[in-house]
Amino acid sequence: MADVLSTKRLLIDKANTTVVIAVSLAVFLFVFSAVSTKTFISKAGYQNRVIAAKREAREQLKDDKEAVKKLRKSYNSFVSTDPNSIGGSRGGLDKKDGDNTKIVLDALPSNYDFPALATSMESLVATEGVKINSFNGTDDEIAQAANITSTNPVPIGMPFELSVSSDYGKIQGVITAFEKSIRPIELVTLDISGDREGLTMVVGARTYFQPAKSLNVTTKVVR
């Protein structure tokens, strides 16, 4: 009798062990499948986001290539116009001559160059036959070095003060020259002293330069 009970207990223990192993294996397979499925879904979602980002970049690249073609065509048309935008000859050497790109750069330089400004203003008023007493301003080139390029450029003022002497007619001609200058000149102060035959005019004014536009090329991490 004892042998029969012992045999039955062994069979029961064996059956229990088998059940435990089977359940453990089933749990392991379930957990493994769940983790694998989650990982697969996560990777699939990531790959889909990468593919979508690549498609978006490809479409943007196509648009950019078309924009470049249109820009090149517009630029060639703009630069080849003769006479230029201010009525000068495209290939001439006079002050009003030159292609339109030169005109634009002369009108609104892309960097802060005070010595060039002084030379330009002195040459402008010298044509009126006046005596240039002084040309003053601040050579702020070092401080403006950070404004060489910008993703969103805006005009930056370059203040200066000019003093000239002559008769009334020539002094008036200086104001007219400022008005006709290709560079934008904003008169801030104007002081005239003396008499009709001998006047001294001190002009406080401001012209501008505009930093070159830079392309803000960035990278995007797909998560």
Mean pLDDT of 56-72: 86
Mean pLDDT of 123-134: 88
Structure tokens at 14: 């064996």
Burial (CB count within 10 angstroms: exposed 0-12, middle 13-18, buried 19+), residue 162 = buried
Q: How confident is the model at residue 27 (pLDDT cuts 50, 70, 90)?
A: low
What pLDDT sits at residue 160?
Answer: 93
Tell me the percentage of the chain whose pLDDT exceeds 90: 14
Residue 200: pLDDT above 90? yes
What pLDDT sits at residue 36?
Answer: 67
Residues in contact with 120: Cβ distance below 8 Å, sequence separation at least 6, in sequence order: 183
What pLDDT sits at residue 211?
Answer: 82
Residue 190: pLDDT above 90? yes
Residue 203: pLDDT above 90? yes
Query: β-strands 212-213, 149-150: how paired?
Result: parallel
Residue 172: pLDDT above 70? yes
Mean pLDDT of 121-142: 85
Please state, rounded to an integer, the average pLDDT across all residues of the chain: 79
Q: How confident is the model at residue 204 (pLDDT cuts 50, 70, 90)?
A: very high
What pLDDT sits at residue 191?
Answer: 93
Mean pLDDT of 81-104: 78
